[in-house]
Chain A
Amino acid sequence: MIATIRKTVLSAASAAALAAAAGPSGAQELNALVWCDHTDPALLEPFETAHGVKVNVKEYEGTAAGLTILGQSQPGDWDVLVIDAVDVGRAVDAGYLAEMPADALPTADFFPELVMAENNTRDGKTYAVTEKFGYNTIAFDKTKVDPADMEDMASLTSGKYDGRIGIYDYYLPVIGLVALGQGIATADITADTLPALAAPLAALRKSARQVSDVVSSQTALATGEVDIIFGGGEWLTAVLMADNPNLDWTIPKQGGLRWAQSIGVVAGSTRPDLALEFVKYIVSPEGQARLATSSCYWGMPANAKAGDHLTAEQKAVLRWDRQPEYLARAQLYPIPDAATDAAMQDMWTAMLNQ
């Protein structure tokens, strides 16, 4: 009964949102459930022109929200899904992603670490492909802090930077970073190891001025409200660097986290061929270059051949030449089971209200 009511109410809401996104045109359309970087017209326009279609994009934040939207939609409502690479398995388990022909995707041109077959494939079948990646580390204003201090996470809780730190408001990368600071690999975060992270997380919160989302973090760093963003990286500073070249980021000696996002065709899509074409466009060198520098946030393209379509300045901002070193020092996001995930979120809630 509850499930039926919930499904009916949310299906209606989802259908209404989709109808609003689809617009009045009856022309061929593609409906994509995406992150904000895919809403940049400069990214979508070449595909729309080449295929004579309209790409309707709906933004979401957080895998739980995305999977909820899919769960309450009718088959065929959505054609393309962008999702955290480490969560592709959850979408596959729920039956939301369709198999894609592996030979249609240029993964041979990818940075090897970004193929992420263990995340994007299941039983030899490809369900998603990595499209963009970057790092959750420490972003800072190099004129306001000692850059040498930023090479050691311990300096953030030493008292020297109390009240000058902002924490990125996303529990997975921040708890992952705190774990690295304690010498615990992100893959080893379990119900057993998690309690050991509560005190260091609380200490970080005590030193911090705020806990904020992407836009508020960018605003705080740009206006000097804080000088350091714990969990920040190129995705935070790149769009601000034109106005403030003093913004910088680094991977401290304890390491950093590598975020990656994947894209796939939604199961039940009524336009699977067109959806696959969109995926192929996004992971093509041109699409990758546009995605890497899209207006919401920048990030490294998974396809190394995108470098041919990026300017020297863009590559410098993305730290193109230092990727081998960075990739070697960064770990993937934690991939907690449901119980550990709930415990991590409870720890995060307690931290917010401490």
Chain B
Amino acid sequence: MSLSAREARLGWGLLAPALAWTFAFFVLPFAAMVALSFARMEGRTIVPAADPGNYLRILTEPAMRGALVNSLEITLVVTLVSAVLAYPLAAIIAFRVPRRWQRLALLAAVLPFWTSYVVRSYAWLLVLGQNGIVNRLLTGLNIVAEPLEIASTRAATIIGFVHFFVMLLTLTIYASLVQLPPSYARAAADLGAGRWATFRHVILPLTLPGVVTGAFLTFVLCIGDYITPQILGGNTELTLPQLIMLQLGRSGNFPLASALSVVLMIVVSLAYAASARWLRLDRI
């Protein structure tokens, strides 16, 4: 069935505000950022150019490559750990918690979202510090003789991220689980499948879109964050967003910051391409 010319015009008319918004607030700024990434600094002045020097710096300077690697390592670990922790939590809420209490359980799960991101990071710093709750417990129970160095390490950054993103993944996985008809599991059981086989061959494949959607959002939010590595990581290793902030706040080197941002966009785009097959953003 083809649209009449009038319907097509109406369609474009209805689409126009969204297109204008996307053009003004995504396409134009992105084009400006890409153009700026090929400019160069002469002293403290930005000189328009078509110079790939900023990208060459990113590829060749160990500190810059290291920041990219750090970001990827942290993000992949956070995404994986968050998914592994979130799945059973979502399953418990979906299958074990009575229907009338599920909303309350979800509310409890997302409570950390209600506090300020910065305040939450500083709170974790106090929990994980030399004199924090964790170390006091461990030393008080004689599990360790000396307090562990947790704060100001990559482990602290990952813990802070996982605490936040488990909640996000729980929501997307829960949304997939509750849409699963109970008859599927019963049919699998009738055919002789045990619990593990039912989970592996029926439930997990059907809820994969929820897992991948949450994982993708976790990946995007985690790799673009600089607050948590700054506060919990103690600035002991640079991530890509921290490097971008250094260029903007300290150096005023907008071209290099733009090139780093373009690299960040490419990484996120690759993550999208890798997960596009399973992504169901409309389910959020």
Contact = CB atoms under 8 A, between A and B. Distances in A.
Report whether chain A binds chain B. yes
Interface stretch (A218-226, A256-264, A290-298): A218-226
A2 B234 contact: no
B198 to A, nearest CB: 47
A330 to B, nearest CB: 23
A1 B35 contact: yes
Nearest to A351: B63
Interface footprint category on B:
35 or more
Secondary structure at the B interface, as helix, strand, loop or mixed, is helix
Contacts of B235: 169, 210-213, 216, 352
A225 B130 contact: yes
Interface string B62-82: 111011001000000000000
B48 to A, nearest CB: 4
B185 to A, nearest CB: 49
A352 B238 contact: yes
A65 B251 CA distance: 8
Contacts of A108: none
Nearest to B149: A163
Interface string A1-16: 1110110010000000
Contact of B129 (A2, A215, A224, A339): A224
Interface residues of A, number: 40
Interface stretch (B167-175, B187-195, B210-218, B241-249): B241-249
Interface in B6-52: 28-29, 31-32, 35-36, 39, 41, 43-44, 46, 48
A65 B198 CA distance: 57
Contact of A353 (B31, B63, B125, B130): B63
Contacts of A209: 149, 152, 234, 236
Contacts of A1: 35, 48
A350 B236 contact: no
Nearest to B121: A216
A13 B149 CA distance: 41
A345 B250 contact: yes
B164 to A, nearest CB: 19
A270 interface: no
Contacts of B36: 2, 5-6
A206 to B, nearest CB: 11
Contacts of B243: 349
A328 interface: no
A210 B152 contact: yes
Contact of A9 (B29, B70, B130): B29
Interface of B: 28-29, 31-32, 35-36, 39, 41, 43-44, 46, 48, 62-64, 66-67, 70, 122, 125-126, 129-132, 149, 151-152, 230-231, 234-238, 242-243, 246, 248-254
Given A65-B250, A209-B149, A216-B231, 4 more contacts: A166-B234, A225-B152, A346-B63, A352-B237
Interface of A: 1-3, 5-6, 9, 61-62, 64-65, 67-68, 90, 163, 166, 169, 171, 209-213, 215-216, 219-220, 223-225, 337-339, 341-342, 345-346, 349-350, 352-353
